[in-house]
Structure 1
Amino acid sequence: MLPPELADYRACVGIALFNHEGDVFIGRRRGLAADEKYAWQMPQGGIDEGETPREAAARELREETNVASAEFLAEAPRWLAYDLPKPMLRKSWRNRYRGQAQKWIAFRFVGDEGEINIETPDGGEKPEFSHWRWEKLEATVDLVVPFKRAVYRDVAKLFKRHTRGDLS
Protein backbone atom coordinates (compact mmCIF):
# COMPACT_ATOMS: atom_id res chain seq x y z
CA MET A 1 0.00 0.00 0.00
CA LEU A 2 2.69 2.52 0.96
CA PRO A 3 5.33 3.40 -1.61
CA PRO A 4 8.73 1.77 -0.91
CA GLU A 5 10.30 5.04 0.27
CA LEU A 6 7.75 5.12 3.13
CA ALA A 7 8.20 1.50 4.24
CA ASP A 8 9.50 2.65 7.67
CA TYR A 9 6.23 4.49 8.40
CA ARG A 10 2.92 3.29 9.79
CA ALA A 11 0.17 3.60 7.17
CA CYS A 12 -2.76 5.61 8.44
CA VAL A 13 -5.35 8.19 7.49
CA GLY A 14 -6.05 11.75 8.51
CA ILE A 15 -9.55 13.18 8.28
CA ALA A 16 -10.57 16.74 7.52
CA LEU A 17 -14.29 16.91 8.36
CA PHE A 18 -15.73 20.18 7.05
CA ASN A 19 -18.98 21.74 8.18
CA HIS A 20 -21.19 23.81 5.86
CA GLU A 21 -19.34 26.99 6.82
CA GLY A 22 -16.04 25.48 5.68
CA ASP A 23 -14.51 24.97 9.13
CA VAL A 24 -12.98 21.64 10.20
CA PHE A 25 -13.57 19.42 13.20
CA ILE A 26 -10.70 19.38 15.70
CA GLY A 27 -10.52 17.48 18.94
CA ARG A 28 -8.49 18.11 22.07
CA ARG A 29 -6.48 14.97 22.75
CA ARG A 30 -7.63 13.22 25.92
CA GLY A 31 -5.25 12.80 28.83
CA LEU A 32 -3.22 15.96 28.37
CA ALA A 33 -2.79 18.68 30.97
CA ALA A 34 -5.31 21.52 30.76
CA ASP A 35 -2.54 23.97 29.88
CA GLU A 36 -1.00 21.75 27.16
CA LYS A 37 -0.30 24.16 24.32
CA TYR A 38 -0.57 21.83 21.31
CA ALA A 39 -3.39 19.53 22.36
CA TRP A 40 -5.63 19.71 19.27
CA GLN A 41 -5.74 17.63 16.11
CA MET A 42 -8.03 16.35 13.40
CA PRO A 43 -9.13 12.70 13.61
CA GLN A 44 -6.62 10.12 12.41
CA GLY A 45 -5.94 6.41 12.71
CA GLY A 46 -4.48 3.26 11.26
CA ILE A 47 -5.55 1.47 8.13
CA ASP A 48 -6.69 -2.08 8.83
CA GLU A 49 -5.73 -5.03 6.64
CA GLY A 50 -7.80 -5.01 3.45
CA GLU A 51 -9.13 -1.47 3.92
CA THR A 52 -8.74 1.35 1.44
CA PRO A 53 -7.73 4.72 2.87
CA ARG A 54 -11.25 6.03 2.24
CA GLU A 55 -12.82 3.09 4.10
CA ALA A 56 -10.35 3.52 6.97
CA ALA A 57 -11.14 7.24 7.16
CA ALA A 58 -14.90 6.62 7.39
CA ARG A 59 -14.34 3.97 10.10
CA GLU A 60 -11.91 6.14 12.09
CA LEU A 61 -14.29 9.09 11.85
CA ARG A 62 -17.08 6.98 13.39
CA GLU A 63 -14.76 5.51 16.04
CA GLU A 64 -13.47 8.92 17.17
CA THR A 65 -16.49 11.21 16.68
CA ASN A 66 -19.53 8.97 16.09
CA VAL A 67 -20.07 10.79 12.77
CA ALA A 68 -21.60 8.69 10.01
CA SER A 69 -23.37 11.55 8.20
CA ALA A 70 -20.47 12.58 6.01
CA GLU A 71 -20.07 12.94 2.26
CA PHE A 72 -16.75 12.24 0.58
CA LEU A 73 -15.11 15.37 -0.87
CA ALA A 74 -11.52 14.51 -1.77
CA GLU A 75 -8.49 12.33 -1.18
CA ALA A 76 -5.00 13.82 -1.00
CA PRO A 77 -3.05 12.85 -4.13
CA ARG A 78 -0.03 11.69 -2.14
CA TRP A 79 0.99 10.29 1.24
CA LEU A 80 2.04 12.88 3.84
CA ALA A 81 4.55 11.66 6.42
CA TYR A 82 5.95 12.86 9.71
CA ASP A 83 8.62 11.46 12.01
CA LEU A 84 7.92 10.94 15.69
CA PRO A 85 10.37 12.61 18.09
CA LYS A 86 12.98 10.13 19.35
CA PRO A 87 11.62 9.95 22.94
CA MET A 88 8.22 8.91 21.56
CA LEU A 89 9.62 6.19 19.30
CA ARG A 90 10.34 3.86 22.21
CA LYS A 91 6.76 4.22 23.48
CA SER A 92 5.02 3.99 20.10
CA TRP A 93 4.88 0.81 18.07
CA ARG A 94 7.96 -0.66 19.84
CA ASN A 95 10.39 1.14 17.53
CA ARG A 96 8.82 -0.60 14.51
CA TYR A 97 8.08 2.66 12.65
CA ARG A 98 9.84 6.01 12.51
CA GLY A 99 6.56 7.88 12.15
CA GLN A 100 3.30 7.86 10.24
CA ALA A 101 2.50 8.18 6.56
CA GLN A 102 -1.02 9.51 6.19
CA LYS A 103 -3.45 9.55 3.32
CA TRP A 104 -5.72 12.51 4.05
CA ILE A 105 -9.42 12.33 3.25
CA ALA A 106 -11.84 15.28 3.24
CA PHE A 107 -15.51 14.81 4.13
CA ARG A 108 -18.41 17.25 4.44
CA PHE A 109 -20.49 16.80 7.60
CA VAL A 110 -24.15 16.62 6.57
CA GLY A 111 -25.72 15.61 9.87
CA ASP A 112 -26.93 17.39 12.95
CA GLU A 113 -24.26 18.33 15.51
CA GLY A 114 -26.10 16.15 18.04
CA GLU A 115 -24.64 13.19 16.14
CA ILE A 116 -21.13 14.13 17.27
CA ASN A 117 -20.31 12.13 20.37
CA ILE A 118 -16.68 12.03 21.47
CA GLU A 119 -17.47 10.44 24.85
CA THR A 120 -19.03 7.21 23.56
CA PRO A 121 -18.28 7.04 19.84
CA ASP A 122 -19.30 4.20 17.53
CA GLY A 123 -17.77 0.78 18.03
CA GLY A 124 -17.07 1.09 21.77
CA GLU A 125 -13.59 2.44 21.12
CA LYS A 126 -11.71 4.28 23.87
CA PRO A 127 -12.45 8.02 23.52
CA GLU A 128 -9.65 9.95 21.79
CA PHE A 129 -10.83 13.48 22.54
CA SER A 130 -11.96 15.36 25.64
CA HIS A 131 -13.39 18.39 23.77
CA TRP A 132 -14.12 19.35 20.20
CA ARG A 133 -14.89 22.42 18.10
CA TRP A 134 -15.03 23.73 14.55
CA GLU A 135 -11.91 25.65 13.48
CA LYS A 136 -10.50 27.37 10.41
CA LEU A 137 -8.37 24.84 8.52
CA GLU A 138 -5.36 27.15 8.31
CA ALA A 139 -5.49 27.74 12.11
CA THR A 140 -4.99 24.03 12.84
CA VAL A 141 -1.31 24.32 11.94
CA ASP A 142 -0.63 26.32 15.12
CA LEU A 143 -2.77 24.05 17.33
CA VAL A 144 -1.15 20.71 16.52
CA VAL A 145 2.10 19.35 18.00
CA PRO A 146 5.13 20.80 16.20
CA PHE A 147 6.24 17.52 14.59
CA LYS A 148 2.91 17.32 12.67
CA ARG A 149 2.89 20.92 11.45
CA ALA A 150 4.39 20.34 7.99
CA VAL A 151 1.68 17.75 7.29
CA TYR A 152 -1.05 20.13 8.49
CA ARG A 153 0.36 22.90 6.25
CA ASP A 154 0.15 20.52 3.28
CA VAL A 155 -3.40 19.51 4.24
CA ALA A 156 -4.41 23.19 4.46
CA LYS A 157 -3.09 23.76 0.93
CA LEU A 158 -4.56 20.57 -0.52
CA PHE A 159 -8.07 21.09 0.91
CA LYS A 160 -8.26 24.90 0.84
CA ARG A 161 -11.03 24.84 -1.75
CA HIS A 162 -13.32 23.10 0.77
CA THR A 163 -13.02 25.97 3.29
CA ARG A 164 -15.46 28.16 1.38
CA GLY A 165 -18.67 26.90 2.89
CA ASP A 166 -21.01 24.79 0.80
CA LEU A 167 -18.74 24.76 -2.23
CA SER A 168 -17.38 21.32 -3.01
Structure 2
Amino acid sequence: MIDEDGYRPNVASVIINKDNKILWAKRVDEDNWQFPQGGIQKGETPEQAMYREVYEEVGLKKNSFEILGRSADWLKYDVPERFVKTYWQGRYKGQKQIWFLLKFIGSDDLINLNLHDAPEFDDWKWENFWHPLQDVVDFKKEVYSAALNELWQFVETEN
Protein backbone atom coordinates (compact mmCIF):
# COMPACT_ATOMS: atom_id res chain seq x y z
CA MET A 1 0.00 0.00 0.00
CA ILE A 2 1.44 3.37 -1.00
CA ASP A 3 -0.04 6.85 -0.93
CA GLU A 4 -0.72 9.07 -3.93
CA ASP A 5 2.80 10.55 -3.66
CA GLY A 6 4.53 7.17 -3.82
CA TYR A 7 5.30 6.70 -0.11
CA ARG A 8 4.61 3.55 1.86
CA PRO A 9 3.08 4.25 5.32
CA ASN A 10 5.42 2.89 7.94
CA VAL A 11 6.26 3.07 11.64
CA ALA A 12 9.68 3.27 13.28
CA SER A 13 10.47 2.66 16.95
CA VAL A 14 13.26 4.13 19.03
CA ILE A 15 13.46 1.90 22.09
CA ILE A 16 15.42 3.31 25.04
CA ASN A 17 16.46 1.59 28.24
CA LYS A 18 16.78 2.99 31.78
CA ASP A 19 20.16 4.51 30.84
CA ASN A 20 18.65 6.29 27.80
CA LYS A 21 20.59 4.00 25.44
CA ILE A 22 18.77 3.02 22.26
CA LEU A 23 18.24 -0.47 20.87
CA TRP A 24 20.23 -0.61 17.64
CA ALA A 25 19.68 -3.64 15.39
CA LYS A 26 21.72 -5.10 12.51
CA ARG A 27 19.92 -6.27 9.41
CA VAL A 28 20.39 -9.94 8.55
CA ASP A 29 23.47 -10.64 6.42
CA GLU A 30 24.27 -6.93 6.00
CA ASP A 31 26.40 -4.39 7.78
CA ASN A 32 23.46 -1.99 8.05
CA TRP A 33 22.02 -1.05 11.42
CA GLN A 34 18.64 0.54 12.06
CA PHE A 35 15.67 0.89 14.36
CA PRO A 36 12.80 -1.60 14.22
CA GLN A 37 10.40 -0.41 11.54
CA GLY A 38 7.77 -1.75 9.21
CA GLY A 39 4.73 -1.11 7.08
CA ILE A 40 1.29 -0.23 8.32
CA GLN A 41 -1.20 -2.83 7.15
CA LYS A 42 -4.64 -1.96 5.79
CA GLY A 43 -7.00 -1.12 8.65
CA GLU A 44 -4.18 -0.71 11.17
CA THR A 45 -3.45 2.46 13.12
CA PRO A 46 0.20 3.55 13.44
CA GLU A 47 0.13 2.49 17.10
CA GLN A 48 -1.21 -0.98 16.25
CA ALA A 49 1.46 -1.36 13.57
CA MET A 50 4.17 -0.29 16.04
CA TYR A 51 3.12 -2.94 18.57
CA ARG A 52 3.04 -5.62 15.85
CA GLU A 53 6.38 -4.62 14.30
CA VAL A 54 8.23 -4.35 17.63
CA TYR A 55 7.00 -7.82 18.54
CA GLU A 56 7.79 -9.33 15.12
CA GLU A 57 11.26 -7.80 14.80
CA VAL A 58 12.66 -7.78 18.35
CA GLY A 59 10.22 -9.96 20.31
CA LEU A 60 8.99 -7.32 22.74
CA LYS A 61 5.40 -7.50 23.91
CA LYS A 62 3.26 -4.52 24.99
CA ASN A 63 3.96 -5.09 28.67
CA SER A 64 7.74 -4.72 28.21
CA PHE A 65 7.70 -1.06 27.16
CA GLU A 66 5.81 2.20 27.50
CA ILE A 67 5.12 4.81 24.82
CA LEU A 68 6.88 8.05 25.80
CA GLY A 69 6.04 9.98 22.64
CA ARG A 70 5.63 9.97 18.89
CA SER A 71 6.33 12.22 15.96
CA ALA A 72 3.70 14.88 15.37
CA ASP A 73 3.49 14.10 11.67
CA TRP A 74 4.84 11.80 8.97
CA LEU A 75 8.59 11.92 8.32
CA LYS A 76 9.62 10.82 4.82
CA TYR A 77 12.68 9.46 3.08
CA ASP A 78 13.29 8.47 -0.51
CA VAL A 79 14.85 5.12 -1.33
CA PRO A 80 17.66 5.28 -3.92
CA GLU A 81 16.62 3.89 -7.29
CA ARG A 82 19.17 1.08 -7.06
CA PHE A 83 17.20 -0.35 -4.09
CA VAL A 84 13.71 0.21 -5.48
CA LYS A 85 12.04 -2.92 -6.71
CA THR A 86 9.25 -2.89 -9.25
CA TYR A 87 6.54 -2.60 -6.60
CA TRP A 88 3.41 -0.62 -7.23
CA GLN A 89 3.92 -0.16 -10.99
CA GLY A 90 7.06 1.93 -10.50
CA ARG A 91 5.26 4.53 -8.34
CA TYR A 92 7.19 3.70 -5.15
CA LYS A 93 9.47 6.52 -3.93
CA GLY A 94 10.13 5.64 -0.31
CA GLN A 95 8.72 5.50 3.19
CA LYS A 96 6.66 7.91 5.25
CA GLN A 97 6.91 7.11 8.91
CA ILE A 98 5.36 7.84 12.26
CA TRP A 99 8.15 7.55 14.82
CA PHE A 100 7.63 6.28 18.37
CA LEU A 101 9.84 6.65 21.42
CA LEU A 102 9.43 3.60 23.66
CA LYS A 103 10.81 3.09 27.17
CA PHE A 104 11.96 -0.51 27.64
CA ILE A 105 10.92 -1.74 31.10
CA GLY A 106 11.97 -5.36 30.85
CA SER A 107 15.20 -7.30 31.04
CA ASP A 108 17.48 -7.78 28.03
CA ASP A 109 16.66 -11.47 27.82
CA LEU A 110 13.18 -10.50 26.53
CA ILE A 111 14.74 -9.28 23.28
CA ASN A 112 14.36 -12.06 20.73
CA LEU A 113 15.35 -11.60 17.09
CA ASN A 114 14.37 -15.13 16.09
CA LEU A 115 10.60 -15.29 16.44
CA HIS A 116 10.12 -15.94 12.73
CA ASP A 117 11.59 -18.17 10.04
CA ALA A 118 12.98 -15.11 8.26
CA PRO A 119 14.18 -12.66 10.93
CA GLU A 120 15.03 -9.09 9.88
CA PHE A 121 17.89 -8.67 12.34
CA ASP A 122 20.76 -10.92 13.41
CA ASP A 123 22.33 -8.76 16.13
CA TRP A 124 21.47 -5.90 18.45
CA LYS A 125 23.12 -3.66 21.05
CA TRP A 126 22.45 -0.67 23.28
CA GLU A 127 23.96 2.55 21.86
CA ASN A 128 24.12 6.24 22.69
CA PHE A 129 20.89 8.02 21.70
CA TRP A 130 22.62 10.03 18.95
CA HIS A 131 24.82 7.19 17.60
CA PRO A 132 22.51 6.33 14.67
CA LEU A 133 23.23 9.69 13.04
CA GLN A 134 26.76 8.52 12.29
CA ASP A 135 25.96 4.88 11.62
CA VAL A 136 22.72 4.65 9.63
CA VAL A 137 22.77 4.21 5.86
CA ASP A 138 23.19 7.57 4.10
CA PHE A 139 19.73 7.86 2.56
CA LYS A 140 18.10 7.59 6.01
CA LYS A 141 20.34 10.10 7.83
CA GLU A 142 18.07 13.11 7.33
CA VAL A 143 14.91 11.36 8.54
CA TYR A 144 16.78 9.83 11.49
CA SER A 145 18.06 13.27 12.46
CA ALA A 146 14.58 14.79 12.27
CA ALA A 147 13.05 11.90 14.25
CA LEU A 148 15.66 11.82 17.00
CA ASN A 149 15.58 15.58 17.41
CA GLU A 150 11.80 15.55 17.69
CA LEU A 151 11.70 12.57 20.07
CA TRP A 152 14.48 13.90 22.32
CA GLN A 153 11.93 16.15 24.07
CA PHE A 154 10.34 13.01 25.57
CA VAL A 155 13.57 11.58 26.97
CA GLU A 156 13.92 11.94 30.72
CA THR A 157 17.35 13.31 31.52
CA GLU A 158 18.94 14.03 34.86
CA ASN A 159 20.01 17.65 35.23
Tell me how far apart the structure 2 counterparts of residues 112 and 137 of structure 1 sit (CA, whole Å): 19
- Written as runs of structure 1 = structure 2, the 5 A alignment for 1:1-168 is 7-32=5-30, 36=31, 39-68=32-61, 69-90=64-85, 95-118=90-113, 120-121=114-115, 124=116, 126-164=118-156
Show CA shifts across 1:83-133 (max 9, x none). Answer: 010111136666341000011011111111110011x22xx3621111100
For residue 20 of structure 2, what is the amino acid of its counterpart? G
Cα gap change, 1:91 to 1:19, in 2 (>3 Å): farther
TM-score by length of structure 2 reads: 0.89
Instruction: Give unpaired runs (5+ residues) of structure 2.
Output: none
Aligned-partner SS, 2:112: coil
Percent identity over the alignment is: 34
Show CA shifts across 1:41-70 (max 9, x none). Answer: 000000011111111111100000001111
81-90 or 145-154: bigger deviation: 81-90
Tell me how far apart the structure 1 counterparts of residues 157 and 87 of structure 2 sit (CA, whole Å): 37
For residue 55 of structure 2, what is the amino acid of its counterpart? R
Aligned-partner SS, 1:149: helix
Say if 2:69 and 2:154, in contact at 8 Å, map to a contact too.
no
Tell me how far apart the structure 1 counterparts of residues 117 and 151 of structure 2 sit (CA, whole Å): 28
Q: 1:9: Cα distance to partner?
A: 0.3
Show CA shifts across 1:16-60 (max 9, x none). Answer: 11111111111011121xxx4xx1100000001111111111110
Q: 1:163: Cα distance to partner?
A: 4.2
Tell me how far apart the structure 2 counterparts of residues 111 and 93 of structure 1 sit (CA, whole Å): 39
TM-score by length of structure 1 reads: 0.84
For residue 10 of structure 1, what is the amino acid of its counterpart? R
